[in-house]
Amino acid sequence: MLLTLEPDLTADQLQQIEDRLRELEVRVEKAAAGVRPIWVIRSDGGEPPAERLAAIAGVAAVLPIDAGFPLASLALRGRPSVIRCGPLDIGGRDFVLAAGPCAVETPEQMEACALATRRAGGVLFRGGSFKPRTSPYTFQGLGREGLRLHREVADRHGLLMMSEVLDREDLPAVAELADILQVGSRNMQNFPLLKAIGRLKRPVLLKRGLAATREEFLLAAEYILAGGNERVILCERGIRSFDPALRNSLDLASVVLLKEMTHLPVFVDPSHATGRRRLVAPMARAAAAVGADGLLVEIHPSPESALSDGPQALLPEDLLRLAGELADLAPVVGRRFPRPA
């Protein structure tokens, strides 16, 4: 069984719960030690009745072990999470624009992208230095050198840096420099990586796997939450479909469903979802309209020479136009978004 405990219990109160459980002859495994702890309990004899466990002071709920995702659940938490990051309230009133290139390439490209992001009212500056490319013969990213360039340009423009971490080996290097870690679609179920990120305090944007159900997506988030890291942002980025006309199929209904199921903020990435520049702004507006908490948008000053994902990259002027539309839309859905100058 799973026990969820009341938030903010003292060490004494936790000890009393543990003592009481020992009297009832159950063993306790501590699964998550965040603000709202989750304990897995096991018993060699029959498990004590749920009412007995629920009656212990400090126990919030008693759930079956396959209850799903108690830490990510909106029903159990009761209200949406707001993740404070720099000046942003992610999941709160702010509609958040994260923009930047697919891959960090050169100082000039990063400078142009940072300027465009800033101008458009973006606060998060994305860019991959460790790239998960389908072919091993294509550009794999600049690695640590890219991270340093990204950090330097982000700082110069007062932007927060978000970058993908591909494996545990690179986690210390990415976590040292990035304000927000990104876990890509292909790594959504890389459980050792999720566990390692769960031990950090750094916010993380977790992208939905190419063929993952919502439940699998939320259970992947649960891995990070169960490690004690409560700052998880989900991102819909399209799922595989049978239709080669689009790179992926953007599951916008899922944004609405996820917001009913979880307290975690939900972003939308219309760039990878469509793979086509022309479709990015319409899908971005649709995402804002259905209640997404933010967007992840790829941009490039000269998409025709981009080293990855050029066909889906917005030009700086496209991003600025989209930002004006988001500023019109945001108040209609109860959000704040700065009007670009």
Nearer to ligand PEP, 39 or 130 (CB): 130
Only segment of 82-90, 193-201, 234-242, 304-312 that touches Mn ion (CB under 5 A):
304-312
From 272, 277, 300, 335, residue interacting with ligand PEP (rule: CB under 6 A): 272
Cα distance between residue 123 and residue 3, in whole Å: 38
Residue type, 25: E
Nearer to ligand PEP among residue 62 and residue 251 (C-beta)? 251
DSSP-derived pairing of the beta strands 160-164 and 180-183: parallel
Q: Of the two residues 185 and 229, which places its CB atom closer to ligand PEP in the complex?
A: 185
Token pair belonging to 105? 């390439």
**Smallest separation (angstroms) from Mn ion to the CB of 102:** 3
Q: Which residue is associated with the tokens 């707001």? A: 82
Return the axis-axis angle of helices 277-289 and 252-261, rounded to nearest 10°: 30
Could you say whether residue 335 binds ligand PEP (CB under 6 A)? no
- Which member of 48, 68, 92, 132 binds ligand PEP (CB under 6 A)? 132
- Spatial contact of 32 and 61, defined as CB atoms under 8 Å apart: no
Examine residue 309 and tell whether it contacts Mn ion (CB under 5 A): yes
Nearer to ligand PEP, 150 or 237 (CB): 237
Burial class (CB in 10 A: 0-12, 13-18, 19+), 102: buried
What the block records as the tokens of 61 is 């709920």
Cβ neighbours of residue 107 under 8 Å, at least 6 residues apart? 149, 153
**In the complex, least distance from residue 49 CB atom to ligand PEP, rounded to whole angstroms:** 45
195-234 mask for ligand PEP (x: CB under 6 A)? ------------x---------------------------
Residue 77 interacts with, from ligand PEP, Mn ion, none (CB under 5-8 Å by kind)? none
Q: Are 4 and 65 in contact (CB under 8 A)?
A: no
Report the nearest approach of ligand PEP to the CB of residue 10 (Å).
41
Q: Which stretch binds ligand PEP (CB under 6 A): 50-58, 179-187, 316-324, 333-341?
A: 179-187
Rounded Cα–Cα distance for residues 63 and 55 (Å): 14
- Which of helix, strand or coil describes residue 204? strand
Contact between 102 and ligand PEP per CB under 6 A? yes
Q: Residue 30 Cβ, how far from ligand PEP at the closest point, in Å? A: 32
Between residues 132 and 338, which has the closer beta carbon with respect to ligand PEP? 132
Selected binder of ligand PEP within 237, 259, 263, 277 (CB under 6 A): 237
Burial pattern 177-188, b for ≥16 Cβ within 10 A else e, equals bbbbbbbbbebb
Site for Mn ion in 89-128 (CB under 5 A): 102
Residue 130 CB contacts under 8 Å (≥ 6 apart), including other chains: 140, 141, 143, 163, 164, 165, 166, 170, 174
Our CB check for ligand PEP shows the closer of 53 and 283 to be 283
Residue 220 class from Cβ within 10 Å (0-12 exposed, 13-18 middle, 19+ buried)?
Answer: buried
The phi and psi torsions of 312 (rounded to 5 degrees) equal -105, 0
Measured at CB, which residue is nearest to ligand PEP? 184
Nearer to ligand PEP, 37 or 209 (CB): 209
Binding residues for ligand PEP (CB under 6 A)? 102, 128, 132, 184-186, 207, 237, 269, 272
